[in-house]
Structure 1
Amino acid sequence: MEKVRKINPSKSIHFRGKQSSLKNDQMIHWKSLLERDYIRLLEFDPTVICYESQPLVIDYAYRGKIYKYYPDFKIITTDHRARLVEVKPLKFINKPENRVKFEVGKRYCEQHGWTFQVVTEEQIRPGFLQYNLCKIRKIPKVLISKSICLQILKNLAKQGICTIQELREACNEIEESSFFRCFYFLIYHHKIITDLVNEKLSVNSLVALAKSEVTY
């Protein structure tokens, strides 16, 4: 879909850029580091099917003038519902002009049967989540061995809840770099669960099979 609003390179101190999206099979533009980090969450979130940045424009009147509001993202979830999302630093939430935009977005969504959401760094950057996502997300699928993934899952099923080090020892026949590539891939794709928020991933982190994988 053609973008409603083109995001041009910035000449100011603000950050702008783009990154590839596996869910959308295209480059997704962002106009702040907070938006970039939010895209990481959307890519990781299993309830998100697809999403768009700068998906539409809403015209509205305020104090006798006509303005245009460009919500940051439109998201489609696995229950086939749509959600408009505004990404905003917490310190700007209560600015009058932003409160007006939020109300405009909310009313637009009510008219279309969608939901409207404002997200801040509190939801986007809790604890060590962004650090851990950066660590596990950049694993090209071409480097992933299905047989090694299955072997890791089977060994984890035998071990039960254990540390990464204990799982590594149970898979000692797998070359180390291959083990960690596949292991991180399995976490990123929700086959293995661990606490990504409250601590940095380390060999002492506890891991377990996701409920959908308990038959291994």
Structure 2
Amino acid sequence: MPTRKIRACPVKVTGTAPDGQQFESTIEEDFFVLLRFNRSVASFEAQPVKVEWLDAKGKIHTYTPDVLVHYHQDMDESVSKPPLLCEIKPDHPEDAPQPVKRKHPYKENAAENALKWAAAKRYATAQGWEFSVFREKDVRTPYLKNVRFLLRALEKVKDSHFQPELLEKLDENGSLTLDEWAGTLASTLEARAKVLPACYRLIALQRVEVDLEQPLTLQSMVRAMSHA
């Protein structure tokens, strides 16, 4: 449950993600997409806590970090991984990969943020959590574009009878392009249209190895886990 109500704003994009989590910007929405796809993530909560911090004059303020991430503790890659309290921010203008035209240019009070984030880090440490700030450049990568596409296969596409056969074919060959992989069970365009969703679902389920840091195309190499 968010600790403060998220209201519509003419500057910020606000809304609700499919899992019911509210977001205040498109960057937050994109970050939530990454969390939904990450199999190490057990759950996450938007606007989870309020943190008190002191300004330079000693006045008390409150600050609400964007999201708290909880991890599965029964998976090798997340053993004993503590919850992560996160802040998601636009890039510094000078750090942006390319100039971004904004109707309302982003302005950041670095000194104020340093105080808020130091307080958030202390709060997180006291809870046994960690705290981290993610910038737009950390979120909006080729990986995000792939994840947005694959999330549909993960959440909307059902398992099919093609999947065991596809895994068997890939295991026999070790590695194939996505196009070649689908072609092991489909020789016509009509058949391929039925097989490809099963390929994408297996990729989304991480049953096969694909470099998702690169754009996902029919020429992407797909490898069997046993050959990865």
Indicate which of 145, 149, 167 corresponds to 1:131. Answer: 145
Displacement of 1:70: 0.4
Q: Please list the CA deviations of residues 74-129 of structure 1 after superposition, one character each: whole Å capped at 9, or x if unmatched.
A: 01112362110111123167711111111011110111111111111232123x11
Structure 1 counterpart of 2:2: 3
TM-score, normalised to structure 1, is 0.85
1:16-55 to structure 2, matched below 5 A, reads 16-21=14-19, 27-55=20-48
Displacement of 1:146: 3.5
Displacement of 1:169: 1.3
Distance 1:137 1:53 in 2: 20
1:160/1:175 Cα in 2 relative to 1: closer, same or farther (>3 Å)?
same
1:146/1:120 Cα in 2 relative to 1: closer, same or farther (>3 Å)?
same
Instruction: Name the one with the larger strand percent.
Output: 1
Unaligned stretches of 5+ residues in structure 1: 22-26
Distance 1:35 1:137 in 2: 16
Contact 1:137-1:184 within 8 A present in 2 as well: no
Indicate which of 92, 113, 120 corresponds to 1:98. Answer: 113
- Matched residue type, 1:197: E
TM-score, normalised to structure 2, is 0.81
SS at match of 2:17: strand
Contact 1:93-1:99 within 8 A present in 2 as well: no
Q: Please list the CA deviations of residues 8-60 of structure 1 after superposition, one character each: whole Å capped at 9, or x if unmatched.
A: 222x2221111113xxxxx1111111111111111111211111010111122
Distance 2:140 2:2 in 1: 27
Unaligned stretches of 5+ residues in structure 2: 74-80, 93-106
Structure 2 counterpart of 1:61: 54
Contact 1:87-1:119 within 8 A present in 2 as well: yes
Aligned length in residues: 203
Distance 1:86 1:109 in 2: 12
Distance 1:103 1:84 in 2: 12
Displacement of 1:181: 1.5
Give RMSD over aligned pairs. 2.1
Runs of 4+ with deviation above 6 angstroms: none
